[in-house]
Amino acid sequence: MNRRIRTALGVALTAALVTTAAPAPATAHDRRPSVIALPDGFQPEGVAAAGRYAWFGSRATGEIYRADLITGAGKQVSPATGTPSLGLKIDPRGRLFVAGGTAGDARVIDTRTGAVLASYRFAEAPTFVNDVTLTRDAAWFTDSNRPVLYRLPLGRGGKLPSADAFTTLPLTGDFQQTGTGVNLNGIVRTPDGRALIVVQSNTGTLFRVDPATGATTAVDVPGATFLNGDGLLLLGRTLYVVQNRLNQVAVVELNRAGTTGTLRRVITDPGFDVPTTVAAALGRLYLPNGRFTTPPTPTTPYTVVAVDPR
C-alpha cells in the first residue's frame, strides 16, 4: 500500500457515532466493483490484500482464492487442503501466512506459485487457530479455544523458522478464557509497535498484550463493547473491529500505546451478511461475507463487499 493511501486511511474519523457507509462512488475513471463474487460454496473467512489483489481463504476446504479488485475476476492460487484457512496476512515478500483453525496449525504460501513454503503444527484438539498478524520479527497467531498466542519467529531477511521453532505464550492478567465459545479472535500490533491488541469475541473486550511476558490489560474504550468481534485492522492509530453477526465495523481511535481508545463511529452496509474480517486496498475496505447464519451448500453464493473507510 503506498504512502498516500496509508495516510488517507489513517486520518482520524470524526463523523457521527453511527452511520451507514456507502461503497466508494464510481466515476468515469473508476469502475471498481463494490461487490465481488467468490466461488459458490466457498465459505470465506480471512482476507489479505496487496496492490490490486486480495486473497481469501475457505473455512470449508482450505482453498486460497485471489481476486482482482479492479476487474472482479479471480482464480484459485492454492488448492483445498481439507482443513480450514482462516486468518490471512501477506508480507512484502509475497508470502501468505494462513491460520489453520481446527487443524491447530499454520502454513505459509507463496502467492505467486501457490506452493506451501512451510507448515507448523501448534496444538492438538481442542484448538482453533483463528487469526494472524505480522510484526517486524514474528508472525503471531490467536487460538480461540486456548488462552495463548503462538509466536513464529522470523529471521534475517524474513527467513522462516524450522517446523518446531515456534513458541507458545500463555496469557495472564485481565484476559480470562470464558466458556466454550469463541474467545480470542482478531489480532494486530499497537500503533507504537511495542505490543499486540486482541479481541475477545464472546465478551466484546479488547486487550493489550505484552509480547515478552503475555501480560494483558483491557483497552479502555469508554462506553463501547465489541461483542462478536472478529477480524481487526490497524491503519495508523485507527482500529477497525469487525463485529460479524452484528453486521458492522466499529472504528476506534487509539492512543499510540494502545491502552485507551475512543469509538468514533460504526460502519454498516446493506451488503453485509456476517462479514468476518477486513483488509484495506485501493482506498477502500474489503470485507468477505461469511454468512454464518445461512446453511452452507455447494451452491451457496458468497461475496466480498467494498466500503469507504471514512
Kindly tell me the burial class for residue 95, based on how many C-beta atoms sit within 10 Å of its own C-beta (0-12, 13-18, 19 or more).
buried
- At 58, which CATH number? 2.130.10.10
Q: Is residue 25 part of a domain?
A: no
Q: Is residue 243 part of a domain?
A: yes
Distance of alpha carbon 195 from the chain centroid: 17
Owning domain of residue 236: 44-307
Whether residue 241 is predicted with pLDDT greater than 80 in this model: the reply is: yes
Tell me, what amino acid is at 109? I
CA–CA dist 24, 277 (Å, integer): 19
Question: Which residues, other chains included, contact 60 with Cβ-Cβ below 8 Å and sequence gap of 6+?
Answer: 41, 42, 43, 84, 296
Query: Which string of DSSP letters, residue by residue, matches 60-75?
Result: TT--EEEEETTT--EE
CA–CA dist 134, 130 (Å, integer): 14
Q: Is residue 206 part of a domain?
A: yes
Q: Is residue 246 part of a domain?
A: yes
CA–CA dist 253, 30 (Å, integer): 29
> pLDDT tens digits, residue range 58-69?
999 999 999 999
Helices in the chain by DSSP H: which ranges? 3-10
Q: Is residue 134 part of a domain?
A: yes
Between strands 95-99 and 105-110, the pairing is antiparallel
DSSP, collapsed to helix, strand or coil, labels residue 86 as coil
Q: Is residue 95 part of a domain?
A: yes
Q: What is the dihedral of CA 97, 129, 212, 173, to 10 degrees?
A: 150
Q: What is the domain count for the chain? A: 1
Contact 267, 248 (CB under 8 A): yes
> pLDDT tens digits, residue range 69-120?
999 999 999 999 999 999 999 999 999 999 999 999 999 999 999 999 999 9
Whether residue 40 is predicted with pLDDT greater than 70 in this model: the reply is: yes
Q: What is the mean pLDDT of residues 209-217?
A: 98
Q: What is the mean pLDDT of residues 173-183?
A: 95
Neighbouring CB atoms inside 10 A of 71's CB total 12
Is the model's pTM score more than 0.85? yes
Contact 97, 108 (CB under 8 A): yes
Q: Is residue 165 part of a domain?
A: yes
Whether residue 250 is predicted with pLDDT greater than 60 in this model: the reply is: yes
Residue 97 exposure: Cα atoms within 13 Å on the Cβ side: 25
Sign of torsion, CA 48 54 55 57? positive
Contact 220, 227 (CB under 8 A): no
Whether residue 23 is predicted with pLDDT greater than 80 in this model: the reply is: no
Q: Is residue 23 part of a domain?
A: no
